[in-house]
Amino acid sequence: MLTGRELRAFRKNLLAWFRQYQRDLPWRRDKDPYRVWLSEIMLQQTRVAAVIPYYERFLGRFPTITALAEAREPEVLRFWAGLGYYSRARNLQHAAQRIVGKYEGKFPNREVDVLALPGIGAYTSAAILSIAFNQRHAVLDGNVARVLARLFAVRGDLRESKRWQSLQKNADELLDANSPGDWNQAMMEVGAMVCTPRAPQCLLCPVAKFCQARKLGIQDQLPEKRTKHVPVRVTLAAAVFVDKQGRTLLMPPPLPSSTKAAADHVPTLVSKMWHFPTIASSANPASELRGHLQTIFPKEKDSEWNLHVLDTVRHCVTYRKIAIYPFRLHVAKLPRFSGSRMVAIDNLASLPISSLTRKIARAALDFPKS
Ligand code: SF4
């Protein structure tokens, strides 16, 4: 760690650099917690340039927490469409509803309350509380962790629990208690603009003289590569019902209040948006799917469903490699399930669906009608 004098100089250099060179970003023009929160959620896994137009459009339609809380979910998802990771939008709205219900629409300013909101973890909470409320919380995400790993020449997988905790301790010690919001943004900015993942620009770095990695000439080697997840293979079977009018049946996303048992009728990989009836398969996809359909449509017990196997669909979600066996079922009348919808199979875009569901629909449409 740095000596007292070095620490003061470090903070002074970084803050002066940030105040002079920071990018003019729309969410930096205002310290309103809703805006800070929205930008932080949109920026997760998404580049700044891609976020800007979405951020402005979203705020144009949902200018306040109350407006977001009162909107219909499909509309919120429509304004999010293209950004991906839709659970972010859903959590944002659930949190807005809780803020309206519990805090009269005013964003809470106690850490314990902020962390209890859906979709908000330690990083986002620290960012909102420091930027919007000037509270002393240091942010730590992959970007800041990279800067810290280089500053203190930290080796090994940064995401390993103990190492991450030690980086959080470093971040807490560096935090400028007088300007925590600017400080956190300065750390993020130096990571985004100067101490970049590849080829860090040490000659332009405001804190280069304090950097251990640069001193040792190893800045290009840090952070070290993460330990890789072993890929997990998942097999699913999905039912694509099609009636004479070319309509199919989609199951609803589970409500946030659904019990585990209620949500268990679909694998979580497909259950977060509208989806075809789906089951995880371990041995025989056709018979497992048939059994599943009899369970969720008990009134159709005697129906003679012919399952036409379609081309296997392949999909990847992080380290999971998914093989889906879709089956097309021609029926005179679509079965009913509480909350399900009938939609034209060739126009599923009227509901929020995942790319996995889209691929299954494509396989069903490519199947020659018997
Ligand atoms: Fe990153 Fe280089 Fe600055 Fe060190 S000197 S913090 S490696 S940009």
H/E element, 316: strand 313-317
Position in ligand 1 atom list of the atom nearest CA 212:
4
Position in ligand 1 atom list of the atom nearest CA 202:
2
Ligand 1 pocket, residue 275 CB under 6 Å: no
Model confidence, pTM: 0.68
Alpha helices in the chain (DSSP H): 4-21, 33-43, 48-61, 65-70, 73-80, 87-103, 111-115, 122-133, 142-151, 161-174, 180-193, 212-216, 260-263, 285-296, 355-365
Q: Residue 120: how many CA atoms within 13 Å on its side-chain side?
A: 29
What would the two tokens of residue 303 be? 């129906």
Q: Residue 277: how many CA atoms within 13 Å on its side-chain side?
A: 30
Residue 228 Cα, ligand 1 centroid: separation in angstroms?
26
Report the DSSP pairing between strands 320-330 and 232-242. parallel
Ligand 1 pocket, residue 345 CB under 6 Å: no
Among 14, 154, 195, name the best residue to mutate to test ligand 1's pocket (greatest count of ligand atoms within 8 A of Cβ): 195
Going residue by residue through the chain, which has 370 residues, state the pLDDT in tens, using 9 for 90 and above. 799 999 999 999 999 999 999 999 999 998 999 999 999 999 998 999 999 999 999 999 999 999 999 999 999 999 998 888 888 999 999 999 999 999 999 999 999 999 999 999 999 999 999 999 999 999 999 999 999 999 999 999 999 889 999 999 999 999 999 999 999 999 999 999 999 999 999 999 999 999 999 999 999 999 998 877 788 899 999 999 999 999 999 998 876 554 444 444 455 566 578 899 999 999 999 999 999 999 999 888 767 788 999 999 999 887 889 999 999 999 999 998 888 999 999 888 777 788 889 889 989 988 765 4
Domains of the chain: 4-216 (1.10.340.30), 232-365 (3.90.79.10)
Residue 5 Cα, ligand 1 centroid: separation in angstroms?
20
What would the two tokens of residue 76 be? 């919120």
* 3 closest CA partner among 186, 167, 210: 210
Ligand 1 pocket, residue 146 CB under 6 Å: no
Q: Which residues are catalytic?
A: 40
Ligand 1 pocket, residue 200 CB under 6 Å: yes
Ligand 1 pocket, residue 202 CB under 6 Å: yes
Residue 140 Cα, ligand 1 centroid: separation in angstroms?
17
Q: How many CB atoms lie within 10 A of CB 105?
A: 16
Ligand 1 pocket, residue 211 CB under 6 Å: yes
